[in-house]
Amino acid sequence: MQIAFVASECVPFVKTGGLADVVGALPPEIAKLGHDVTVYLPLYAGVRPHLEGEWKYVIRSITIPFQYYNRFVGIVDGGRRNGVQYYFVDCPEMFDRQGLYTTRTGDYPDNAERFALFCRAVLEATKQLGVPQVFHVHDWQTGLLPVYLRTLYYFDPMLQSAGTVLTIHNAGYQGWFPPVTTERLLFPWDVFTMDKVEQFDSFNFLKGGLVFSDMLTTVSRKYAEEIQTPEFGHDLDGVLLKRASDLRGILNGVDYAHWDPATDGNLAAHYGPEKLDGKAACRADLLHAFGLEGIQDTTPVIGIVSRFASQKGFDMVAQIAGQLLERDVAVVALGTGEPFYEAFFRDWAYRHKDRVAAQIRYDDALAHKVEAGADMFLMPSRYEPCGLNQIYSLKYGAVPVVRATGGLDDTIEEWNAKTGTGTGFKFAGYAPEALLAAIDRALKAFRDKKGWRKLMRNGMARNYSWEQPAKEYVEVYEEVARRRS
Ligand code: ADP
Ligand code: GLC
């Protein structure tokens, strides 16, 4: 089959979160199964260093009309890697910026125009470079592509049989814009209704994608159920419920070429389930990187790597911060995001320099070191569509302590010391006491060295490669193609 991925992030070119890991790893896996896969991405400032030598434009200029003006977009050949063809949508006035969606002071004011242009440019580009059987779009940034396809491009003879799949990586970000967006993007006003893109008087990109895509997927089975309820649907539960028969939950895989302590180039030592010794050197290296050299071997180190967003549950950590330090633990945190959480971690570390350390930045190499050096990995998320860090943690023997939601619930099984089964610790409800109780269970288990090694090995033996999920995606593509033929 011919599949075109259309997304706003992709490893190794550009990343703010797990979406980039998925769009980096899934296309090559689909290509391995014998399919013809193309990936379209915006050409942000951060992408430029990845494009070696002279840029090769495969299309020099596509006209993208707006209400009062046109913009002109080029398509740059990003080359073939791992069996996948990459193309970049070049429009410097829209994408040649350091941030992807936001600056320190808030969202870019022209995000509707930027991502509408991106979607429309991709549709136009495929008419010259090859129309796929299925467009696979991701999150709100590309939610408008299916809307274009079934409205303004409805009668295009080249695009008529192309199908669409939308994957929801996070229903909490929807791309809300004022009603006037309808005119600015040249949509007829009848698109701005409750059964299409309108939601509480906003033009909602994700909703448009949910309504107009042939099939929908999300990144774990549990989250597929959760988003059909008011608690997790972010007001889109009604639409999702209506489309339940077209919605599949496919758990993300992880790319073990990048995330395996036996081969990871960022680590002080290598290790694996058979030979755990290297982990001690990684722990020492981590403590050194965070300035916590004084921590005793018997003191467990809790690691955190995260976007600091309210989704991630750190308000609960703030509430138990004092009680947690009554226990024998050390904490290392790496993250950036909302000022409230950055300030909390900075302040906590400042007040307890000997046991808590925080690095407020984005640092891929350090993220790997945290996985390898930490004894436990904390993810108390309010909601978590899939979550990749807990899956990396399993592989690295950093035992996950998680809230039982979305992909966290699907991937982590509570440790049972009697039977020696399980891979981590999880708690239900959204309560600081429940979080603390789960950490206490982990601390107790840590004191039994033999049991702890078994627990680590249980997690390290789990396999979350992309092989199986890739097959499930192909089934979805086939279903879409069948419906469109
Ligand atoms: P989300 O996509 O919601 O942020 P995931 O767990 O799916 O959550 O993926 C997060 C990804 O981003 C992981 O690969 C993680 O290592 C990475 N990451 C998050 N924050 C940082 C950071 N400050 N430095 C380096 N990597 C980070
Ligand atoms: C989103 C979710 C995260 C998921 C990632 C990749 O950013 O917050 O849970 O793992 O997308 O699908």
pLDDT digits (tens, 9 = 90+) for 393-429: 999 999 999 999 999 999 999 999 999 999 999 999 9
Cβ pair 219, 430 in contact under 8 A: no
Is the CB of 356 inside a 6 Å radius of any atom of ligand 2? no
* Residue 105 pLDDT class (50, 70, 90 cuts): confident
Write the residue with the smallest CA distance to atom 3 of ligand 2. 387
Backbone angles phi and psi of 152, in degrees to 5: -65, -25
Other residues' Cβ atoms within 10 Å of the Cβ of residue 388: 24
Average pLDDT, the chain: 97
- Asked if the model's pLDDT at residue 52 lies above 80, the reply is no
Protein residue with its CA nearest to atom 12 in ligand 1: 17
Band (pLDDT 50/70/90 cuts) for residue 3 is: very high
136 lines ligand 2 (CB under 6 A): no
pTM of the model: 0.97
Distance in angstroms (rounded) separating the CA atoms of residues 279 and 341: 29
Nearest residue by C-alpha to atom 7 in ligand 2: 18
Task: Name the closest-CA residue to atom 12, ligand 2.
Answer: 169
Q: What is the number of other CB atoms lying within 10 angstroms of the CB of residue 430?
A: 17
Whether pLDDT at 230 is above 80:
yes
The reply to whether ligand 2 has any atom less than 6 angstroms from the CB of 17 is yes
Supply the pLDDT for residue 342.
98
Tell the burial category of 297 from Cβ atoms under 10 Å away from its Cβ (0-12, 13-18, 19+): exposed
Residues contacting 418, CB < 8 A, separation 6+ = none
- Residue 217 is predicted with a pLDDT of 98
Ligand index nearest the alpha carbon of residue 250: 2
Ligand 1 — pocket residues by CB below 6 A? 17-19, 21, 305-307, 334-336, 362-364, 367, 386-389
Please determine whether the domains at 2-253+467-484 and 278-461 fall in the same fold group of CATH. yes
Q: Where are the domains of the chain?
A: 2-253+467-484, 278-461
**What digits encode the pLDDT tens for the residues 249-281?**
999 999 999 999 999 999 999 999 999 999 999
Residue 320: pLDDT band by 50, 70, 90 thresholds?
very high
Strands 376-379 and 301-308, sheet pairing: parallel
pLDDT digits (tens, 9 = 90+) for 158-172: 999 999 999 999 999
Identify which of 284, 273, 269, 270 has the alpha carbon closest to the alpha carbon of residue 374.
284
| CB 334, CB 359: distance < 8 Å | yes
C-alpha 20 to ligand 2 mean position (Å): 9
The answer, yes or no, to whether residue 103 has pLDDT greater than 90, is no
Angle at 427 between CA 309 and CA 466, to 5 degrees: 70
Ligand nearest the Cα atom of residue 139? 2
385 lines ligand 2 (CB under 6 A): yes
CATH 1.20.210.10 assigned to 2-253+467-484: no
Q: Per-residue pLDDT tens for 379-392?
A: 999 999 999 999 99
Q: Tens digit of pLDDT for each residue in 5-15?
A: 999 999 999 99
> Could you tell me the fold of the domain covering 278-461?
Rossmann fold (3.40.50)
Give the pLDDT of residue 151.
98
